[in-house]
Structure formats: C-alpha cells, structure tokens
Amino acid sequence: MSLSDEEILAKVQDTLVEALSVDDDEATPDATLVGDLGAESIDFLDIVFRLEKNFDIKIPRGELFPEDLTSADSGYVQDGQVTEDGIAALRQKMPHADVDKLAADPQVENIQNLFTVQMICNFVKAKLNS
C-alpha cells in the first residue's frame, strides 16, 4: 500500500477520533496522546488494534508503545532522570519517536510525551514501507 504522508496522518487522526473520542482538529501532529488527548493505558491496546485494521498491518507487542520503559530495575532511570543508557535504549526501541526532544530535558515524566500523533504516523509509514 502506498500512502502519502497526508493520507497517513488523516487515517491516524480518524483512528484516534474513534479510540479516544477526540475531535480531529485536536489530533494535530504534535499533540501528545496522554497529555493532550487524554489517553490512558487501556487506550493503547485499542489504538494498536484499530491501526492494524485501518492500515492492514501487524504490530507486534511493544513495538509501537514499548513497555516497562521506566521500571525500577531497567537501570535507565536515576534521580527522576532518564540516563544516557536509557536515552540510547529509547533511540533503539523507538526510532519512530522524537528522542532528541526528550534528551534535551530527560525528566522521567517527559517520556510519555514521546507518544505523539506524529510518532504514530512515522511508525505506520515505516511499517507500510517495510
């Protein structure tokens, strides 16, 4: 399937409108799923299922939304900050996310801001081209 960036964005927005009951003008590319769109952990599974259906792709567990990013034994968090090892791990696990932005202010609570509408678009684009 060959879709333009605009078409991917429009379908991702439709997906989020269905899953999160937000308006499509709220789901801007830089909107964060948790902070701006009010997503909860339960919604991430719903979003994965809808993306699989809407784009006809398979999303293995943890690929789009990695789990246990900040668990106590991960070694990636120290004093409320993501360590350099943690940033490196995130770059490897989430090539679709803007990790540079997190690296500039690596507070643990900023990790959830990696999950943006644009991040999902990047992920879907890579999946469709793979």
Partner 1 sequence: MRWIWIDKFLELESGSHARAVKNITLAEEHLHDHFPGFPVMPGSLMLEGMAQTGGILLGEKNNFEHIVVLAKVPKVVYHSWACPGDTLIYTAKLLSDNEKGGTVACEGHVGDRLVVEAEIVFFHLDANDPDVKGVDQKNFVFSMNLMSVMEVGKAGTGD
Q: Residue 45: which H helix or E strand, with range?
A: helix 41-55
Candidate residues 9, 16, 19, 89; the one interacting with partner 1 per rule CB under 8 A:
19
Burial class (CB in 10 A: 0-12, 13-18, 19+), 123: buried
Task: Give, to the nearest 10 degrees, the angle between helix 5-20 and helix 41-55.
Answer: 140
Candidate residues 7, 18, 24, 84; the one interacting with partner 1 per rule CB under 8 A:
18
> Least Å distance between CB 71 and partner 1?
13
Residue whose tokens read 């919604």:
43
Measure the CA–CA gap between 88 and 48, rounded to whole angstroms: 25
Candidate residues 26, 43, 63, 98; the one interacting with partner 1 per rule CB under 8 A:
43
> Least Å distance between CB 18 and partner 1?
7
**Is residue 38 at the binding interface for partner 1, with CB under 8 A as the rule?**
no
> Least Å distance between CB 45 and partner 1?
5
Q: What is the dihedral of CA 117, 118, 122, 124, to 10 degrees?
A: 30
Candidate residues 38, 45, 92, 107; the one interacting with partner 1 per rule CB under 8 A:
45
Region binding partner 1 by CB under 8 A among candidate stretches 39-47, 86-94, 102-110, 114-122: 39-47
Using CB under 8 A, which residues numbered 86 to 115 contact partner 1? none
Using CB under 8 A, which residues numbered 52 to 81 contact partner 1? 52-53, 61
Specify the length of the chain in residues.
130
